[in-house]
Structure 1
Amino acid sequence: MNPAVYPPENIPLQGRYPGFQGQPGGSAGDQCTTVSIPPEPPRDHIIWSLCCFLYSNPFCLGLAALIYSIKARDRKVVGDMEGARQYGSTARCLNIWATVLGSIMILISLIIVTTVLVLAKQSAQRYTGFDNN
């Protein structure tokens, strides 16, 4: 399969001969296409920060996230994309922490309220003498 004329690393592919350069079926010159994609602008997470500030603001993390989001938006307007990316990243981390802590606090509150209501119902049944079991 390997003729003695060609060393193993120089075996032509797709039936080309050694003097041919370029794409099969095309011209012999090199053809390149360059696509320039603009980088995505950094995100400032302003809506998420506003929601965390208004609805779940444990340890003022929502306020801090809102401040960093505003700083990120200001940096983006000025044209400092790296600074905007850093402030946006900090706002994102603070939003994550505020959301997680707020969710945990809501869950614990629901568990406490449910437990208190069940204990109050049992206490009222014991006090009145009614036992529906």
Structure 2
Amino acid sequence: MNHNSQHFFPGAHNGVPPTYEILKEEHEVAVLGAPQSSAPVTTTVINIPRETAVPDHIVWSLFNTIFMNWCCLGFVAFAYSVKSRDRKMVGDITGAQTYASTAKCLNIWALVLGLLLTFTFIIFLSLDH
């Protein structure tokens, strides 16, 4: 090998060693030459959201499980909330939304039934005395 340092790709690399990508690009330009077509270059940008916000209602379900668990609706809502969170972690947004919607519906029913039954129980206790 020759000890003389010879730059094959002269450019704006003064004092900084070139990276592989820059060398590859310069090599392709040197071999292929400049683009021959005069057509305008169009680009397409696709924005992919990192994570869609899907509420899993797990705190509400836990509250209903502990305090408003009439007919076990709070526990079932909690199970659906956990399923929704699992689907969201896997990346299945549609499945997560489906489970979250079911958990929300069950939480509403558990809360309404729990409040109605609790108030009814309090009213009957107060009428007995």
Q: TM-score range by the shorter chain?
A: 0.5 to 0.7
For residues 45-82 of structure 1, the C-alpha deviation after alignment (integer angstroms, 9 at most, x for no partner) is: 00000000000111110110000000000000000000
Deviation at 1:41, TM superposition (A): 1.4
- Count residues with an aligned counterpart: 83
Consecutive unaligned residues of structure 1, counting only runs of 5 or more, are 1-35, 118-133
1:45 maps to which residue?
Answer: 57
**In the alignment, is the contact (CA less than 8 A) between 1:41 and 1:81 conserved in 2?**
no
Deviation at 1:40, TM superposition (A): 4.1
- Letter of the 2:66 counterpart: L
For residues 81-119 of structure 1, the C-alpha deviation after alignment (integer angstroms, 9 at most, x for no partner) is: 0000000000000000000000001110111011011xx
Matches within 5 A, 1:94-109: 94-109=106-121
**In the alignment, is the contact (CA less than 8 A) between 2:73 and 2:109 conserved in 1?**
yes
Q: Which runs of 4+ in 1 moved over 3 A?
A: 36-40
Same amino acid, percent of matched pairs: 48
Q: What is the distance in 1 between the residues matched to 2:70 and 2:121?
A: 14
1:58 maps to which residue?
Answer: 70
In angstroms, what is the RMSD of aligned CA positions? 1.8
